Amino acid sequence: MGDLLAPANTLEVLLGNEAVARGALEAGLNVAAAYPGTPSTEIGEALAKVAKQVGIYFEWSANEKVATEVAMGAAWSGLRALTMMKHVGFNVASDAIFTLAYAGVTGAMVIVSADDPHAHSSQNEQDNRHYSESVGLPMLEPSNPQEAKDFTKEAFELSSKYKIPVMVRTTTRISHQRGPVRLGEITAGFSKGKFVPPEPDRYLQVGAIARKHHAELLGKLKEISLDVAPSYAKVEGASDAEFGVITSGVAYAHAKEALKLVNVDAKILKLGMTFPLPEKAIGEFLSSVNTVLIVEELDPYLEMRVKAIAKDYAPEVEVLGKLTGHMPRVGEYTMRTVLNGLSKALGVAPPVNFAEIDRRSSEILKKVPPRPPVLCPACPHRSTGYALRRAAGRAAFMGDIGCYALLFQKPFRVEHVTHAMGSSIGLANGIDVATDQDVVALIGDSTFFHAGIPALINAVHNKRKMTVVIMDNRITAMTGHQPHPGTDVNAVGDEAPAIDIEKVVRSIGVDYVKVVDPYDHAATEKAIREALKHDGVSVVITKRECALLTVARLRRQGQKIVPYRVNPDKCTYCRVCINTFACPAFVDTGSLVEIDPTVCFGCGACVPVCPYGAFEPQEGSLNWREQKIGV
């Protein structure tokens, strides 16, 4: 939405993620690679959009580890490289990153970790500040979109100066915060570098060489803690205050406002670099107050380290936070969380009567039905879920990471597990070893390329009996439609060789492979039944593009989206459609089922679901299955 290439010295509205991208462009970025993952995705989307114009190289890689290695290769060839990932994506990349810290870089490299407190769009609330310390890479933590841009740019300068990668950690409320950003000059572009190891053993991490590089790394980190970290430590507020707050990231933004509301004299130490920490600056701050509250999301990362520093600098100071029960450890912070924590630490009543607000609103909220995310109208996964329920209802279902994870919901319930990228097939291996149950693994196309293939190879080689359903919707859908190795375009819109999933599967040695259009419910059901009977590894590929792509294309082509309708003379109000298919366009009037025309995409997938044929096209409605739209 914001103009990523707006001129220097102007103010532009940027999403935190766009601001990171802009910061990299201002720092002279040459190469960026990533695998999409919320809340990091828009960094790559922003770069993909401008890559050709600015002349940088950008790719959506097969997974985070490969993306990291692409960026490393560039940074080892003297270029400036960026990779970014969601917090759990860092786990995938970490094997490369741990050793990268020893190796360092000849150009510059920045690694963005976008954490997701509250697990808004994630499977856990992992706190990647721990990675920074255990890997041994400096970490900057912006507290708003402006800093997201500035810190990213500065991270490149630090990386270039100290010849080690630098991490930038954001959290959801920074990544997905939009705000005014004052821009600088774009200096990005691409020119070929040269791979020349600075010393012959620089990239050969074994034994004595690794130990030597480890010691060097620790030396650099010591230097950074003394020379750089203090400049990111900012004290604000009443200098004679006896109450202090130590904070960083978006928690700082909450704390700053919350302190105004509680109206007490206090000062804030805001840390922009959270590894290595500016020990002396923290020590001096602690010496100047009686009590300090640590305001940080997730783990008591700062709290533990501040306590250790306090022991040397100010043993009398009272350090409050998560370990003392003043602040919660689960979920993200809001103004309310921080106000409550502050009030508790100060021993005053919160300035807002939350109990009264809860009393007023709880009665109302009880009457508002929950609305969790559901599969979109026309989603091909709904049809696959429908067929799976009918054909394999008693199987053990190993799900994976993607929109189809929503198939855990009623009425489908064909996901017993959602774990980590590619885990569906790996887990199916294990469940088959351990039980006599039918096992079905459900995995999307992008996830299959990311981490599914080794597990499928494992299954074939170890003679497992299991069924893998690859739900190929021709895109990385959940994160907002990024291409992947199976699509015929790449990240910047150029034609690219599409890796054929069916061929990959056959080449591995799977001898039952069926490709079906999931909208053909009967054929899909039949394929799954056969697959389950097959003695060995069977694969069913349900292939139909994400409905949002189809709708967008139809609209671009000027096609009217004409919804279907329910013929009231045919509807018996048996509710089979709601109870087995549950399209969000269905409306239960109490005597009939109707279709909400503002929700229906007019796909016609519901037609075979009604035993009485009550779903009917209207004048101008399409039939995606019969007209082969979206396949």
Partner 1 sequence: MSVREFNVIVAGVGGQGILFTTNVIARAALKLGLNFAQSEVHGLSQRYGSIRTELRIGSDVSSPLILEGTLDLLIALEPLEGLRQAPYISERTTVVMNNHVIPPVGAYLERFPIPSFDEILELMKSLNPKQIMVLNAYDIAKKAGDYIVANTVMLGAAQATGVLPFPEGVLREALEEVSPSRYRDLNLRAFDLGRESVSPPR
Residue 506 interacts with partner 1 (CB under 8 A)?
no
Closest approach of partner 1 to the CB of residue 276, in Å: 26
Residues 248-267 that bind partner 1 (CB under 8 A): 250, 252-254, 256-258, 260-261
Q: What number of chain residues touch partner 1 (CB under 8 A)?
A: 72
Closest approach of partner 1 to the CB of residue 346, in Å: 18
Residues 437-496 that bind partner 1 (CB under 8 A): 478-480
Residue 39 interacts with partner 1 (CB under 8 A)?
yes
> At 26, which helix (H) or strand (E)?
helix 16-26
By beta-carbon proximity to partner 1, the closer residue of 316 and 363 is 363
By beta-carbon proximity to partner 1, the closer residue of 125 and 432 is 125
Tally Cβ neighbours within 10 Å of residue 589. 11
Residue 357, C-beta contacts closer than 8 angstroms, at least 6 positions apart: none
Span interacting with partner 1, options 305-313, 363-371, 565-573, 609-617, rule CB under 8 A: 363-371
Tally Cβ neighbours within 10 Å of residue 195. 11
Residue 627, C-beta contacts closer than 8 angstroms, at least 6 positions apart: none
Closest approach of partner 1 to the CB of residue 124, in Å: 14
Residue 626, C-beta contacts closer than 8 angstroms, at least 6 positions apart: 604
Residue 548, C-beta contacts closer than 8 angstroms, at least 6 positions apart: 376, 477, 481
Alpha carbon distance 175, 118 (integer Å): 14
CA Rg value for the chain: 27
Closest approach of partner 1 to the CB of residue 174, in Å: 8
Residue 372 interacts with partner 1 (CB under 8 A)?
yes
Closest approach of partner 1 to the CB of residue 418, in Å: 11
For the sheet with 139-140, list strands across it.
Answer: 57-60, 31-34, 80-86, 108-115, 166-171, 139-140, 273-275
> At 304, which helix (H) or strand (E)?
helix 301-313
Residue 384 interacts with partner 1 (CB under 8 A)?
no
Please check whether residue 403 is in contact with residue 477, taking contact to mean a CB–CB distance below 8 angstroms.
yes
Closest approach of partner 1 to the CB of residue 337, in Å: 10
Closest approach of partner 1 to the CB of residue 568, in Å: 18
Q: Which of 7, 8, 11, 613 binds partner 1 (CB under 8 A)?
A: 11
Residue 328 interacts with partner 1 (CB under 8 A)?
no
Residues 170-209 that bind partner 1 (CB under 8 A): 173, 176-180
Q: Which of 218, 596, 612, 620 binds partner 1 (CB under 8 A)?
A: 596
Span interacting with partner 1, options 100-108, 451-459, 529-537, 573-581, rule CB under 8 A: 573-581
Please check whether residue 376 is in contact with residue 548, taking contact to mean a CB–CB distance below 8 angstroms.
yes
By beta-carbon proximity to partner 1, the closer residue of 264 and 496 is 264
Alpha carbon distance 170, 20 (integer Å): 10
62 is written with which tokens?
Answer: 């097969």
Closest approach of partner 1 to the CB of residue 149, in Å: 15
Residue 460, C-beta contacts closer than 8 angstroms, at least 6 positions apart: 508, 509, 510, 536, 537
By beta-carbon proximity to partner 1, the closer residue of 167 and 582 is 582
Span interacting with partner 1, options 48-56, 233-241, 371-379, 611-619, rule CB under 8 A: 371-379
Span interacting with partner 1, options 22-30, 49-57, 405-413, 522-530, rule CB under 8 A: 405-413
Residue 349 interacts with partner 1 (CB under 8 A)?
no
Alpha carbon distance 112, 22 (integer Å): 13
- Determine the length of the chain: 631
Q: Which of 192, 194, 367, 394 binds partner 1 (CB under 8 A)?
A: 367
Please check whether residue 441 is in contact with residue 468, taking contact to mean a CB–CB distance below 8 angstroms.
yes
Residue 354 interacts with partner 1 (CB under 8 A)?
yes
Closest approach of partner 1 to the CB of residue 256, in Å: 5
Pairing of strands 291-295, 11-15: unpaired
Alpha carbon distance 277, 347 (integer Å): 29
Q: Which of 241, 549, 587, 631 binds partner 1 (CB under 8 A)?
A: 587
Q: Which of 206, 208, 349, 364 binds partner 1 (CB under 8 A)?
A: 364
Residue 615 interacts with partner 1 (CB under 8 A)?
no
The C-alpha torsion from 223 through 227 and 231 to 234, rounded to 10°, is: 70
Q: Which of 207, 315, 347, 369 binds partner 1 (CB under 8 A)?
A: 369
Residue 352 interacts with partner 1 (CB under 8 A)?
yes
Residues 124-153 that bind partner 1 (CB under 8 A): 144
Q: Which of 205, 291, 409, 623 binds partner 1 (CB under 8 A)?
A: 409
- Can you say whether the dihedral through the CA atoms of 622, 623, 625, 626 is positive or negative? negative
By beta-carbon proximity to partner 1, the closer residue of 11 and 433 is 11
466-499 in b/e form (b: 16+ CB < 10 A) is bbbbbbbbbbbbbbebbbbbbbeebbbeeebeeb
Closest approach of partner 1 to the CB of residue 394, in Å: 20
Q: Which of 599, 608, 616, 631 binds partner 1 (CB under 8 A)?
A: 599
By beta-carbon proximity to partner 1, the closer residue of 516 and 582 is 582
Residues 222-251 that bind partner 1 (CB under 8 A): 250
Residue 348 interacts with partner 1 (CB under 8 A)?
no
Q: Is 589 helix (H, G, I), strand (E, B) or coil?
A: coil
By beta-carbon proximity to partner 1, the closer residue of 417 and 531 is 417
> At 243, which helix (H) or strand (E)?
strand 243-247
